[in-house]
Structure 1
Protein backbone atom coordinates (compact mmCIF):
# COMPACT_ATOMS: atom_id res chain seq x y z
CA UNK A 1 0.00 0.00 0.00
CA UNK A 2 2.82 2.42 0.85
CA UNK A 3 4.26 1.82 -2.60
CA UNK A 4 1.01 2.82 -4.27
CA UNK A 5 0.72 5.93 -2.10
CA UNK A 6 4.24 6.88 -3.18
CA UNK A 7 3.28 6.31 -6.84
CA UNK A 8 0.24 8.59 -6.44
CA UNK A 9 2.24 11.34 -4.71
CA UNK A 10 4.99 11.18 -7.32
CA UNK A 11 2.36 11.32 -10.07
CA UNK A 12 0.90 14.53 -8.65
CA UNK A 13 4.32 16.10 -8.20
CA UNK A 14 5.51 15.03 -11.64
CA UNK A 15 2.45 16.25 -13.50
CA UNK A 16 2.41 19.57 -11.63
CA UNK A 17 6.00 20.20 -12.68
CA UNK A 18 5.18 19.11 -16.23
CA UNK A 19 2.19 21.47 -16.39
CA UNK A 20 4.24 24.42 -15.13
CA UNK A 21 6.91 23.76 -17.74
CA UNK A 22 4.31 23.39 -20.51
CA UNK A 23 2.83 26.80 -19.70
CA UNK A 24 5.80 28.90 -18.59
CA UNK A 25 8.80 27.22 -20.24
CA UNK A 26 7.65 25.81 -23.61
CA UNK A 27 10.64 24.33 -25.38
CA UNK A 28 9.33 21.62 -27.72
CA UNK A 29 6.86 21.36 -30.61
CA UNK A 30 4.60 18.80 -28.90
CA UNK A 31 3.44 21.25 -26.23
CA UNK A 32 -0.12 20.25 -25.35
CA UNK A 33 -1.10 23.55 -23.72
CA UNK A 34 -0.21 25.82 -26.60
CA UNK A 35 -1.07 23.13 -29.14
CA UNK A 36 -4.66 23.12 -27.82
CA UNK A 37 -4.80 26.93 -27.99
CA UNK A 38 -3.48 27.03 -31.58
CA UNK A 39 -5.88 24.33 -32.80
CA UNK A 40 -8.82 25.97 -31.01
CA UNK A 41 -8.11 29.43 -32.43
CA UNK A 42 -7.64 28.00 -35.94
CA UNK A 43 -10.96 26.11 -35.90
CA UNK A 44 -12.78 29.04 -34.29
CA UNK A 45 -11.46 31.28 -37.10
CA UNK A 46 -12.87 28.80 -39.65
CA UNK A 47 -16.23 28.98 -37.85
CA UNK A 48 -16.18 32.78 -38.14
CA UNK A 49 -15.20 32.81 -41.83
CA UNK A 50 -17.36 29.87 -42.98
CA UNK A 51 -20.33 29.65 -40.58
CA UNK A 52 -22.88 26.94 -41.38
CA UNK A 53 -25.55 28.46 -39.17
CA UNK A 54 -25.08 32.11 -40.05
CA UNK A 55 -27.45 33.34 -37.35
CA UNK A 56 -25.43 31.65 -34.59
CA UNK A 57 -23.40 34.15 -32.58
CA UNK A 58 -19.61 33.99 -32.64
CA UNK A 59 -19.78 33.75 -28.86
CA UNK A 60 -22.55 31.14 -28.99
CA UNK A 61 -24.62 29.86 -26.10
CA UNK A 62 -22.34 28.41 -23.37
CA UNK A 63 -19.18 29.45 -25.25
CA UNK A 64 -17.33 30.37 -22.05
CA UNK A 65 -18.60 27.33 -20.13
CA UNK A 66 -17.29 25.06 -22.88
CA UNK A 67 -13.98 26.95 -23.00
CA UNK A 68 -13.58 26.35 -19.27
CA UNK A 69 -14.46 22.67 -19.75
CA UNK A 70 -11.86 22.46 -22.50
CA UNK A 71 -8.96 23.55 -20.31
CA UNK A 72 -10.26 21.86 -17.16
CA UNK A 73 -10.70 18.47 -18.83
CA UNK A 74 -7.51 18.65 -20.86
CA UNK A 75 -5.18 19.76 -18.06
CA UNK A 76 -6.58 20.20 -14.54
CA UNK A 77 -8.45 16.89 -14.61
CA UNK A 78 -5.15 15.15 -15.29
CA UNK A 79 -3.68 16.84 -12.24
CA UNK A 80 -6.65 16.03 -10.00
CA UNK A 81 -7.42 12.46 -11.03
CA UNK A 82 -6.19 10.90 -14.25
CA UNK A 83 -2.40 10.87 -13.99
CA UNK A 84 -2.38 9.35 -10.50
CA UNK A 85 -5.06 6.84 -11.55
CA UNK A 86 -3.21 5.91 -14.73
CA UNK A 87 0.16 5.44 -13.03
CA UNK A 88 -1.41 3.36 -10.25
CA UNK A 89 -3.33 1.21 -12.73
CA UNK A 90 -0.15 0.60 -14.73
CA UNK A 91 1.74 -0.63 -11.68
CA UNK A 92 -1.20 -2.74 -10.50
CA UNK A 93 -1.42 -4.37 -13.93
CA UNK A 94 2.31 -5.15 -13.82
CA UNK A 95 1.95 -6.53 -10.27
CA UNK A 96 -0.89 -8.81 -11.36
CA UNK A 97 1.21 -10.09 -14.25
CA UNK A 98 4.08 -10.63 -11.80
CA UNK A 99 1.92 -13.03 -9.77
CA UNK A 100 1.94 -15.31 -12.82
CA UNK A 101 5.63 -14.79 -13.45
CA UNK A 102 4.99 -12.45 -16.38
CA UNK A 103 5.86 -8.89 -17.30
CA UNK A 104 4.34 -6.50 -19.81
CA UNK A 105 6.97 -7.52 -22.37
CA UNK A 106 5.77 -11.14 -22.13
CA UNK A 107 2.20 -10.29 -23.15
CA UNK A 108 2.90 -7.71 -25.85
CA UNK A 109 1.68 -8.88 -29.25
CA UNK A 110 4.45 -6.91 -30.97
CA UNK A 111 6.57 -3.84 -30.49
CA UNK A 112 5.94 -0.97 -32.91
CA UNK A 113 9.62 -0.01 -32.65
CA UNK A 114 10.29 -2.94 -34.99
CA UNK A 115 7.95 -1.45 -37.62
CA UNK A 116 8.33 1.54 -39.95
CA UNK A 117 7.36 4.75 -38.13
CA UNK A 118 4.30 5.42 -40.34
CA UNK A 119 2.97 1.89 -39.82
CA UNK A 120 3.43 2.04 -36.05
CA UNK A 121 1.57 5.37 -35.89
CA UNK A 122 -1.22 4.00 -38.08
CA UNK A 123 -1.68 0.93 -35.87
CA UNK A 124 -1.68 3.06 -32.71
CA UNK A 125 -4.24 5.42 -34.25
CA UNK A 126 -6.57 2.67 -35.55
CA UNK A 127 -6.49 0.67 -32.31
CA UNK A 128 -7.10 3.77 -30.19
CA UNK A 129 -9.95 5.04 -32.33
CA UNK A 130 -11.70 1.66 -32.58
CA UNK A 131 -11.55 1.09 -28.82
CA UNK A 132 -12.89 4.60 -28.25
CA UNK A 133 -15.69 4.05 -30.78
CA UNK A 134 -16.80 0.98 -28.81
CA UNK A 135 -16.49 2.85 -25.52
CA UNK A 136 -18.56 5.73 -26.89
CA UNK A 137 -21.20 3.19 -27.92
CA UNK A 138 -21.30 1.90 -24.33
CA UNK A 139 -21.75 5.42 -22.96
CA UNK A 140 -25.06 5.51 -24.84
CA UNK A 141 -26.21 1.95 -24.20
CA UNK A 142 -25.42 1.53 -20.50
CA UNK A 143 -27.84 3.65 -18.40
CA UNK A 144 -25.30 4.27 -15.62
CA UNK A 145 -22.72 5.57 -18.11
CA UNK A 146 -25.31 7.58 -20.04
CA UNK A 147 -25.95 9.73 -16.95
CA UNK A 148 -22.33 10.91 -17.16
CA UNK A 149 -22.41 11.30 -20.94
CA UNK A 150 -25.43 13.62 -20.69
CA UNK A 151 -23.02 16.42 -19.80
CA UNK A 152 -21.59 16.28 -23.33
CA UNK A 153 -25.04 16.03 -24.90
CA UNK A 154 -26.34 19.03 -22.95
CA UNK A 155 -24.79 21.24 -25.66
CA UNK A 156 -27.58 23.23 -27.33
CA UNK A 157 -25.49 25.11 -29.91
CA UNK A 158 -22.56 23.41 -31.57
CA UNK A 159 -19.13 25.01 -31.59
CA UNK A 160 -15.53 23.78 -31.49
CA UNK A 161 -15.18 23.97 -27.68
CA UNK A 162 -18.19 21.67 -27.20
CA UNK A 163 -15.77 18.89 -28.18
CA UNK A 164 -14.24 18.86 -24.70
CA UNK A 165 -17.37 19.45 -22.63
CA UNK A 166 -17.64 16.13 -20.83
CA UNK A 167 -17.92 14.73 -17.31
CA UNK A 168 -14.67 13.77 -15.56
CA UNK A 169 -15.82 10.15 -15.39
CA UNK A 170 -15.69 9.78 -19.18
CA UNK A 171 -11.89 9.80 -19.57
CA UNK A 172 -11.68 7.34 -16.66
CA UNK A 173 -13.86 4.96 -18.69
CA UNK A 174 -12.07 5.67 -21.96
CA UNK A 175 -8.57 5.30 -20.53
CA UNK A 176 -9.50 2.13 -18.64
CA UNK A 177 -10.82 0.55 -21.83
CA UNK A 178 -7.82 1.71 -23.84
CA UNK A 179 -5.01 0.77 -21.45
CA UNK A 180 -4.73 -2.99 -22.05
CA UNK A 181 -5.03 -2.90 -25.90
CA UNK A 182 -2.32 -0.25 -26.09
CA UNK A 183 -0.16 -2.08 -23.53
CA UNK A 184 -0.39 -5.23 -25.67
CA UNK A 185 1.20 -3.34 -28.55
CA UNK A 186 3.80 -1.19 -26.77
CA UNK A 187 6.77 0.78 -27.99
CA UNK A 188 5.16 4.20 -28.35
CA UNK A 189 7.10 7.29 -27.37
CA UNK A 190 5.75 10.68 -26.33
CA UNK A 191 6.06 12.20 -29.80
CA UNK A 192 4.11 9.30 -31.35
CA UNK A 193 1.28 9.94 -28.92
CA UNK A 194 1.44 13.71 -29.52
CA UNK A 195 1.07 13.35 -33.31
CA UNK A 196 -2.01 11.15 -32.99
CA UNK A 197 -3.44 13.25 -30.16
CA UNK A 198 -3.13 16.58 -32.01
CA UNK A 199 -4.73 15.04 -35.10
CA UNK A 200 -7.61 13.65 -33.02
CA UNK A 201 -8.14 17.01 -31.27
CA UNK A 202 -8.27 18.81 -34.62
CA UNK A 203 -10.86 16.41 -36.08
CA UNK A 204 -12.85 16.51 -32.83
CA UNK A 205 -12.91 20.31 -32.83
CA UNK A 206 -13.99 20.35 -36.49
CA UNK A 207 -16.74 17.79 -35.80
CA UNK A 208 -18.33 20.11 -33.25
CA UNK A 209 -17.66 23.36 -35.11
CA UNK A 210 -20.27 25.54 -36.80
CA UNK A 211 -19.13 24.29 -40.21
CA UNK A 212 -21.14 22.58 -42.95
CA UNK A 213 -18.38 20.31 -44.20
CA UNK A 214 -18.37 16.60 -44.92
CA UNK A 215 -14.99 16.32 -46.78
CA UNK A 216 -16.52 14.79 -49.92
CA UNK A 217 -15.44 11.20 -50.55
CA UNK A 218 -13.42 11.29 -47.33
CA UNK A 219 -16.64 11.45 -45.28
CA UNK A 220 -16.58 7.64 -45.35
CA UNK A 221 -13.26 7.70 -43.51
CA UNK A 222 -13.27 10.77 -41.27
CA UNK A 223 -15.98 12.00 -38.93
CA UNK A 224 -17.21 15.45 -39.94
CA UNK A 225 -19.53 18.28 -38.81
CA UNK A 226 -22.46 17.23 -41.01
CA UNK A 227 -22.29 13.70 -39.66
CA UNK A 228 -21.58 14.48 -36.04
CA UNK A 229 -24.41 16.96 -35.58
CA UNK A 230 -26.82 14.01 -35.93
CA UNK A 231 -25.06 12.36 -33.01
CA UNK A 232 -26.26 15.32 -30.93
CA UNK A 233 -29.82 15.33 -32.32
CA UNK A 234 -32.46 15.55 -29.60
CA UNK A 235 -35.09 13.55 -31.51
CA UNK A 236 -34.18 10.27 -33.21
CA UNK A 237 -36.36 7.46 -34.61
CA UNK A 238 -37.06 4.48 -32.37
CA UNK A 239 -34.74 2.14 -34.27
CA UNK A 240 -31.75 4.38 -33.43
CA UNK A 241 -32.95 5.64 -30.05
CA UNK A 242 -29.61 4.81 -28.39
CA UNK A 243 -27.73 7.11 -30.72
CA UNK A 244 -25.94 7.20 -34.06
CA UNK A 245 -22.62 8.22 -35.58
CA UNK A 246 -20.45 7.20 -32.63
CA UNK A 247 -17.17 7.88 -34.43
CA UNK A 248 -14.64 10.12 -32.71
CA UNK A 249 -12.04 10.67 -35.41
CA UNK A 250 -13.00 8.03 -37.95
CA UNK A 251 -16.46 7.56 -39.45
CA UNK A 252 -15.52 4.25 -41.03
CA UNK A 253 -16.58 2.25 -37.95
CA UNK A 254 -20.12 3.62 -38.20
CA UNK A 255 -20.36 2.68 -41.87
CA UNK A 256 -18.92 -0.77 -41.20
CA UNK A 257 -21.21 -1.53 -38.25
CA UNK A 258 -24.31 0.21 -39.64
CA UNK A 259 -24.60 2.93 -37.00
CA UNK A 260 -24.35 5.74 -39.55
CA UNK A 261 -27.35 8.06 -39.88
CA UNK A 262 -27.66 11.16 -42.08
CA UNK A 263 -31.30 11.37 -43.23
CA UNK A 264 -31.02 15.00 -44.41
CA UNK A 265 -29.13 18.20 -43.58
CA UNK A 266 -28.91 18.57 -39.83
CA UNK A 267 -28.09 22.26 -40.02
CA UNK A 268 -31.05 23.43 -37.95
CA UNK A 269 -32.04 20.36 -35.92
CA UNK A 270 -32.60 20.69 -32.18
CA UNK A 271 -29.73 19.38 -30.09
CA UNK A 272 -29.76 17.76 -26.67
CA UNK A 273 -31.70 14.89 -25.11
CA UNK A 274 -35.15 14.24 -23.70
CA UNK A 275 -35.65 16.19 -20.49
CA UNK A 276 -32.60 18.41 -21.01
CA UNK A 277 -34.62 21.48 -19.99
CA UNK A 278 -34.16 20.24 -16.40
CA UNK A 279 -30.43 19.62 -16.81
CA UNK A 280 -28.13 21.87 -14.70
CA UNK A 281 -26.61 24.86 -16.46
CA UNK A 282 -23.56 25.43 -14.26
CA UNK A 283 -20.27 23.52 -14.20
CA UNK A 284 -20.32 22.14 -10.64
CA UNK A 285 -23.98 21.21 -10.85
CA UNK A 286 -23.31 19.33 -14.09
CA UNK A 287 -20.35 17.51 -12.57
CA UNK A 288 -22.44 16.44 -9.56
CA UNK A 289 -25.58 15.63 -11.56
CA UNK A 290 -25.00 11.85 -12.04
CA UNK A 291 -24.50 11.44 -8.29
CA UNK A 292 -27.35 13.66 -7.11
CA UNK A 293 -30.14 13.15 -9.67
CA UNK A 294 -33.33 11.55 -8.45
CA UNK A 295 -33.68 8.02 -9.70
Structure 2
Protein backbone atom coordinates (compact mmCIF):
# COMPACT_ATOMS: atom_id res chain seq x y z
CA UNK A 1 0.00 0.00 0.00
CA UNK A 2 2.87 2.36 0.83
CA UNK A 3 4.18 1.93 -2.72
CA UNK A 4 0.89 3.15 -4.20
CA UNK A 5 0.75 6.12 -1.83
CA UNK A 6 4.24 7.09 -2.98
CA UNK A 7 3.14 6.78 -6.63
CA UNK A 8 0.19 9.09 -6.01
CA UNK A 9 2.34 11.66 -4.17
CA UNK A 10 5.06 11.57 -6.81
CA UNK A 11 2.45 11.87 -9.56
CA UNK A 12 1.02 15.04 -8.05
CA UNK A 13 4.37 16.67 -7.36
CA UNK A 14 5.74 15.61 -10.77
CA UNK A 15 2.75 16.94 -12.70
CA UNK A 16 2.76 20.19 -10.72
CA UNK A 17 6.41 20.73 -11.67
CA UNK A 18 5.56 19.89 -15.29
CA UNK A 19 2.62 22.33 -15.33
CA UNK A 20 4.73 25.16 -13.90
CA UNK A 21 7.38 24.40 -16.53
CA UNK A 22 4.77 24.58 -19.31
CA UNK A 23 3.52 27.95 -18.07
CA UNK A 24 6.98 29.46 -17.72
CA UNK A 25 8.90 27.88 -20.58
CA UNK A 26 7.93 28.98 -24.08
CA UNK A 27 11.10 27.90 -25.88
CA UNK A 28 10.09 24.35 -26.81
CA UNK A 29 7.67 23.54 -29.63
CA UNK A 30 5.88 20.73 -27.74
CA UNK A 31 4.53 23.04 -25.02
CA UNK A 32 0.99 21.77 -24.53
CA UNK A 33 -0.33 24.86 -22.74
CA UNK A 34 0.64 27.41 -25.37
CA UNK A 35 0.08 24.87 -28.13
CA UNK A 36 -3.58 24.59 -27.08
CA UNK A 37 -3.92 28.38 -26.98
CA UNK A 38 -2.40 28.81 -30.46
CA UNK A 39 -4.56 26.07 -32.01
CA UNK A 40 -7.67 27.52 -30.34
CA UNK A 41 -6.99 31.06 -31.55
CA UNK A 42 -6.30 29.88 -35.11
CA UNK A 43 -9.50 27.81 -35.32
CA UNK A 44 -11.54 30.56 -33.65
CA UNK A 45 -10.14 32.96 -36.24
CA UNK A 46 -11.28 30.61 -39.00
CA UNK A 47 -14.76 30.51 -37.43
CA UNK A 48 -14.90 34.29 -37.45
CA UNK A 49 -13.58 34.60 -41.02
CA UNK A 50 -15.61 31.74 -42.57
CA UNK A 51 -18.72 31.17 -40.39
CA UNK A 52 -21.00 28.38 -41.58
CA UNK A 53 -23.95 29.47 -39.42
CA UNK A 54 -23.99 33.19 -40.19
CA UNK A 55 -26.40 34.09 -37.39
CA UNK A 56 -24.32 32.41 -34.68
CA UNK A 57 -22.55 34.89 -32.40
CA UNK A 58 -18.76 34.93 -32.20
CA UNK A 59 -19.27 34.46 -28.46
CA UNK A 60 -21.82 31.72 -28.97
CA UNK A 61 -24.02 30.13 -26.32
CA UNK A 62 -21.84 28.62 -23.54
CA UNK A 63 -18.64 29.99 -25.10
CA UNK A 64 -17.12 30.83 -21.70
CA UNK A 65 -18.32 27.60 -20.09
CA UNK A 66 -16.66 25.59 -22.85
CA UNK A 67 -13.49 27.68 -22.58
CA UNK A 68 -13.34 26.84 -18.89
CA UNK A 69 -13.92 23.16 -19.68
CA UNK A 70 -11.12 23.31 -22.25
CA UNK A 71 -8.46 24.43 -19.78
CA UNK A 72 -9.86 22.46 -16.85
CA UNK A 73 -9.94 19.17 -18.76
CA UNK A 74 -6.65 19.71 -20.59
CA UNK A 75 -4.58 20.76 -17.58
CA UNK A 76 -6.24 20.97 -14.14
CA UNK A 77 -7.98 17.60 -14.44
CA UNK A 78 -4.59 15.93 -14.83
CA UNK A 79 -3.36 17.72 -11.71
CA UNK A 80 -6.42 16.77 -9.68
CA UNK A 81 -6.89 13.12 -10.59
CA UNK A 82 -5.79 11.67 -13.93
CA UNK A 83 -2.01 11.43 -13.61
CA UNK A 84 -2.15 9.84 -10.15
CA UNK A 85 -4.95 7.50 -11.19
CA UNK A 86 -3.24 6.48 -14.44
CA UNK A 87 0.09 5.79 -12.76
CA UNK A 88 -1.55 3.84 -9.93
CA UNK A 89 -3.66 1.70 -12.27
CA UNK A 90 -0.62 1.03 -14.45
CA UNK A 91 1.33 -0.20 -11.41
CA UNK A 92 -1.63 -2.31 -10.27
CA UNK A 93 -1.84 -3.90 -13.70
CA UNK A 94 1.88 -4.64 -13.71
CA UNK A 95 1.62 -6.16 -10.23
CA UNK A 96 -1.27 -8.34 -11.39
CA UNK A 97 0.80 -9.60 -14.32
CA UNK A 98 3.70 -10.35 -12.00
CA UNK A 99 1.48 -12.76 -10.03
CA UNK A 100 1.50 -14.94 -13.14
CA UNK A 101 5.19 -14.36 -13.75
CA UNK A 102 4.51 -11.99 -16.65
CA UNK A 103 5.38 -8.44 -17.63
CA UNK A 104 4.14 -6.19 -20.41
CA UNK A 105 7.26 -7.16 -22.35
CA UNK A 106 5.73 -10.62 -22.75
CA UNK A 107 2.92 -9.05 -24.78
CA UNK A 108 4.88 -6.42 -26.67
CA UNK A 109 4.51 -6.93 -30.40
CA UNK A 110 7.02 -4.30 -31.50
CA UNK A 111 9.04 -1.29 -30.42
CA UNK A 112 7.97 1.86 -32.23
CA UNK A 113 11.38 3.48 -31.80
CA UNK A 114 12.99 0.63 -33.74
CA UNK A 115 10.96 1.52 -36.84
CA UNK A 116 11.42 4.45 -39.22
CA UNK A 117 9.96 7.49 -37.48
CA UNK A 118 7.14 8.02 -39.99
CA UNK A 119 6.08 4.36 -39.78
CA UNK A 120 6.17 4.37 -35.98
CA UNK A 121 4.09 7.55 -35.76
CA UNK A 122 1.57 6.17 -38.23
CA UNK A 123 1.13 2.94 -36.24
CA UNK A 124 0.80 4.82 -32.96
CA UNK A 125 -1.77 7.19 -34.47
CA UNK A 126 -3.86 4.47 -36.14
CA UNK A 127 -3.94 2.20 -33.08
CA UNK A 128 -4.81 4.98 -30.64
CA UNK A 129 -7.48 6.47 -32.91
CA UNK A 130 -9.14 3.10 -33.52
CA UNK A 131 -9.24 2.32 -29.79
CA UNK A 132 -10.71 5.75 -29.11
CA UNK A 133 -13.33 5.26 -31.82
CA UNK A 134 -14.45 2.05 -30.13
CA UNK A 135 -14.40 3.71 -26.71
CA UNK A 136 -16.55 6.52 -28.09
CA UNK A 137 -19.08 3.94 -29.28
CA UNK A 138 -19.17 2.47 -25.77
CA UNK A 139 -19.95 5.90 -24.33
CA UNK A 140 -23.09 5.92 -26.46
CA UNK A 141 -24.15 2.29 -26.04
CA UNK A 142 -23.62 1.73 -22.29
CA UNK A 143 -26.28 3.65 -20.29
CA UNK A 144 -24.00 4.41 -17.34
CA UNK A 145 -21.29 5.79 -19.64
CA UNK A 146 -23.86 7.69 -21.70
CA UNK A 147 -24.87 9.63 -18.58
CA UNK A 148 -21.28 10.90 -18.36
CA UNK A 149 -21.08 11.56 -22.10
CA UNK A 150 -24.24 13.69 -21.98
CA UNK A 151 -22.07 16.55 -20.73
CA UNK A 152 -20.41 16.70 -24.14
CA UNK A 153 -23.70 16.35 -25.99
CA UNK A 154 -25.35 19.13 -23.99
CA UNK A 155 -23.71 21.58 -26.42
CA UNK A 156 -26.46 23.51 -28.21
CA UNK A 157 -24.29 25.70 -30.48
CA UNK A 158 -21.11 24.25 -31.94
CA UNK A 159 -17.79 26.02 -31.66
CA UNK A 160 -14.14 25.02 -31.33
CA UNK A 161 -14.09 24.97 -27.50
CA UNK A 162 -16.99 22.48 -27.40
CA UNK A 163 -14.39 19.90 -28.39
CA UNK A 164 -13.11 19.72 -24.81
CA UNK A 165 -16.42 19.98 -22.96
CA UNK A 166 -16.62 16.55 -21.34
CA UNK A 167 -17.05 14.97 -17.92
CA UNK A 168 -13.86 14.13 -16.03
CA UNK A 169 -14.78 10.43 -16.07
CA UNK A 170 -14.44 10.22 -19.87
CA UNK A 171 -10.63 10.42 -20.04
CA UNK A 172 -10.49 7.81 -17.25
CA UNK A 173 -12.39 5.43 -19.54
CA UNK A 174 -10.36 6.39 -22.63
CA UNK A 175 -6.99 6.08 -20.89
CA UNK A 176 -7.89 2.79 -19.23
CA UNK A 177 -8.92 1.14 -22.50
CA UNK A 178 -5.98 2.66 -24.37
CA UNK A 179 -3.32 1.61 -21.87
CA UNK A 180 -2.85 -2.02 -22.92
CA UNK A 181 -2.88 -1.54 -26.74
CA UNK A 182 -0.37 1.30 -26.48
CA UNK A 183 1.79 -0.67 -24.04
CA UNK A 184 1.89 -3.57 -26.50
CA UNK A 185 3.48 -1.29 -29.10
CA UNK A 186 5.73 0.56 -26.64
CA UNK A 187 8.82 2.68 -27.17
CA UNK A 188 7.37 6.12 -27.80
CA UNK A 189 9.33 9.33 -28.01
CA UNK A 190 7.63 12.15 -26.06
CA UNK A 191 8.02 14.69 -28.86
CA UNK A 192 6.62 12.28 -31.43
CA UNK A 193 3.56 11.70 -29.24
CA UNK A 194 3.20 15.47 -28.86
CA UNK A 195 3.11 15.84 -32.66
CA UNK A 196 0.26 13.31 -32.94
CA UNK A 197 -1.53 14.91 -30.00
CA UNK A 198 -1.39 18.41 -31.49
CA UNK A 199 -2.69 17.07 -34.80
CA UNK A 200 -5.61 15.36 -33.02
CA UNK A 201 -6.40 18.50 -31.03
CA UNK A 202 -6.44 20.60 -34.21
CA UNK A 203 -8.77 18.18 -36.02
CA UNK A 204 -11.01 17.95 -32.94
CA UNK A 205 -11.26 21.74 -32.72
CA UNK A 206 -12.08 21.96 -36.43
CA UNK A 207 -14.73 19.23 -36.13
CA UNK A 208 -16.61 21.28 -33.54
CA UNK A 209 -16.01 24.67 -35.15
CA UNK A 210 -18.61 26.80 -36.91
CA UNK A 211 -17.18 25.82 -40.29
CA UNK A 212 -18.87 24.16 -43.27
CA UNK A 213 -15.87 22.11 -44.38
CA UNK A 214 -15.61 18.44 -45.33
CA UNK A 215 -12.13 18.43 -46.99
CA UNK A 216 -13.39 17.01 -50.32
CA UNK A 217 -12.17 13.46 -51.02
CA UNK A 218 -10.36 13.46 -47.65
CA UNK A 219 -13.74 13.39 -45.91
CA UNK A 220 -13.59 9.58 -46.13
CA UNK A 221 -10.40 9.62 -44.08
CA UNK A 222 -10.54 12.69 -41.81
CA UNK A 223 -13.40 13.59 -39.52
CA UNK A 224 -14.77 17.01 -40.42
CA UNK A 225 -17.30 19.66 -39.30
CA UNK A 226 -20.00 18.61 -41.79
CA UNK A 227 -19.77 15.03 -40.59
CA UNK A 228 -19.40 15.70 -36.88
CA UNK A 229 -22.38 18.05 -36.70
CA UNK A 230 -24.54 14.94 -37.23
CA UNK A 231 -22.88 13.21 -34.30
CA UNK A 232 -24.39 15.99 -32.16
CA UNK A 233 -27.83 15.89 -33.84
CA UNK A 234 -30.74 15.74 -31.43
CA UNK A 235 -32.87 13.68 -33.81
CA UNK A 236 -31.45 10.60 -35.50
CA UNK A 237 -33.23 7.75 -37.31
CA UNK A 238 -34.00 4.44 -35.50
CA UNK A 239 -31.10 2.82 -37.35
CA UNK A 240 -28.77 5.22 -35.50
CA UNK A 241 -30.57 5.40 -32.16
CA UNK A 242 -27.26 5.13 -30.25
CA UNK A 243 -25.59 7.75 -32.41
CA UNK A 244 -23.49 7.97 -35.55
CA UNK A 245 -20.17 9.33 -36.81
CA UNK A 246 -18.12 8.28 -33.79
CA UNK A 247 -14.82 9.24 -35.40
CA UNK A 248 -12.34 11.10 -33.20
CA UNK A 249 -9.72 12.19 -35.74
CA UNK A 250 -10.41 9.72 -38.54
CA UNK A 251 -13.75 9.22 -40.27
CA UNK A 252 -12.66 6.05 -42.04
CA UNK A 253 -13.77 3.79 -39.16
CA UNK A 254 -17.36 5.00 -39.54
CA UNK A 255 -17.34 4.32 -43.27
CA UNK A 256 -15.74 0.89 -42.79
CA UNK A 257 -18.14 -0.19 -40.02
CA UNK A 258 -21.27 1.48 -41.46
CA UNK A 259 -21.82 3.97 -38.64
CA UNK A 260 -21.66 7.01 -40.94
CA UNK A 261 -24.72 9.22 -41.30
CA UNK A 262 -24.81 12.48 -43.29
CA UNK A 263 -28.25 12.85 -44.92
CA UNK A 264 -27.74 16.54 -45.82
CA UNK A 265 -25.61 19.53 -44.84
CA UNK A 266 -26.82 19.67 -41.23
CA UNK A 267 -26.00 23.35 -40.91
CA UNK A 268 -29.20 24.30 -39.06
CA UNK A 269 -30.15 21.05 -37.30
CA UNK A 270 -30.99 21.07 -33.60
CA UNK A 271 -28.18 19.80 -31.41
CA UNK A 272 -28.31 17.97 -28.10
CA UNK A 273 -30.25 14.93 -26.87
CA UNK A 274 -33.84 14.23 -25.89
CA UNK A 275 -34.52 15.64 -22.45
CA UNK A 276 -31.60 18.08 -22.57
CA UNK A 277 -33.92 20.92 -21.58
CA UNK A 278 -33.68 19.48 -18.06
CA UNK A 279 -29.90 19.06 -18.17
CA UNK A 280 -27.89 21.32 -15.81
CA UNK A 281 -26.47 24.48 -17.33
CA UNK A 282 -23.51 25.05 -14.98
CA UNK A 283 -20.20 23.24 -14.58
CA UNK A 284 -20.66 21.90 -11.03
CA UNK A 285 -24.10 20.40 -11.62
CA UNK A 286 -23.05 18.97 -14.97
CA UNK A 287 -20.20 17.19 -13.21
CA UNK A 288 -22.56 15.89 -10.51
CA UNK A 289 -25.34 14.89 -12.92
CA UNK A 290 -24.20 11.28 -13.65
CA UNK A 291 -23.88 10.60 -9.92
CA UNK A 292 -27.48 11.62 -9.33
CA UNK A 293 -29.15 10.19 -12.45
CA UNK A 294 -28.45 6.80 -13.97
CA UNK A 295 -31.51 6.23 -16.16
CA UNK A 296 -31.96 6.73 -19.94
TM-score (normalizing by structure 1): 0.99
Moved more, 103-112 or 30-39: 103-112
Partner of 1:175: 175
1:26 deviates by 2.9
For the 8 Å contact 2:124–2:182, the answer to whether it is kept is yes
Q: Deviations over 1:190-214 (max 9, x none)?
A: 1121011000000000000000000
Q: How does 1:18-97 map to 2 (within 5 A)?
A: 18-97=18-97
1:100 deviates by 2.0
For the 8 Å contact 2:69–2:166, the answer to whether it is kept is yes
Structure 1: 5+ residue stretches without partners: none
1:105 deviates by 1.9
Moved more, 92-101 or 107-116: 92-101
For the 8 Å contact 2:143–2:294, the answer to whether it is kept is no
Structure 2: 5+ residue stretches without partners: none
User: What is the distance in 2 between the residues matched to 1:231 and 1:130?
Assistant: 17
Moved more, 167-176 or 88-97: 88-97
Matched, 1:261 2:261: yes
User: What is the distance in 1 between the residues matched to 2:149 and 2:103?
Assistant: 35
For the 8 Å contact 2:147–2:293, the answer to whether it is kept is no
1:58 deviates by 0.2
User: What is the distance in 2 between the residues matched to 1:208 and 1:113?
Assistant: 33
User: What is the distance in 1 between the residues matched to 2:140 and 2:105?
Assistant: 35
For the 8 Å contact 2:121–2:192, the answer to whether it is kept is yes
Secondary structure at the aligned position of 2:194 is classed as helix
Partner of 2:237: 237
User: What is the distance in 2 between the residues matched to 1:223 and 1:40?
Assistant: 18
Partner of 1:283: 283
Partner of 1:109: 109
Secondary structure at the aligned position of 1:230 is classed as helix
1:61 deviates by 0.2
Q: Deviations over 1:26-77 (max 9, x none)?
A: 3311000000000000000000000000110000000000000000000000
User: What is the distance in 1 between the residues matched to 2:244 and 2:103?
Assistant: 39
Partner of 2:187: 187
User: What is the distance in 1 between the residues matched to 2:265 and 2:108?
Assistant: 45
Partner of 1:124: 124
Stretches of 4+ aligned residues off by more than 4 angstroms: none
Moved more, 278-287 or 89-98: 89-98
Q: Deviations over 1:112-139 (max 9, x none)?
A: 1111000000000000000000000000
1:294 deviates by 7.0
Secondary structure at the aligned position of 1:263 is classed as coil
Q: How does 1:152-231 map to 2 (within 5 A)?
A: 152-231=152-231
1:174 deviates by 0.4
1:102 deviates by 2.2
User: What is the distance in 2 between the residues matched to 1:294 and 1:8?
Assistant: 30
Q: How much is the aligned-residue C-alpha RMSD, in angstroms?
A: 0.9
Moved more, 44-53 or 99-108: 99-108
Q: Deviations over 1:69-104 (max 9, x none)?
A: 000000000011100011111211221222222222
User: What is the distance in 2 between the residues matched to 1:133 and 1:280?
Assistant: 27
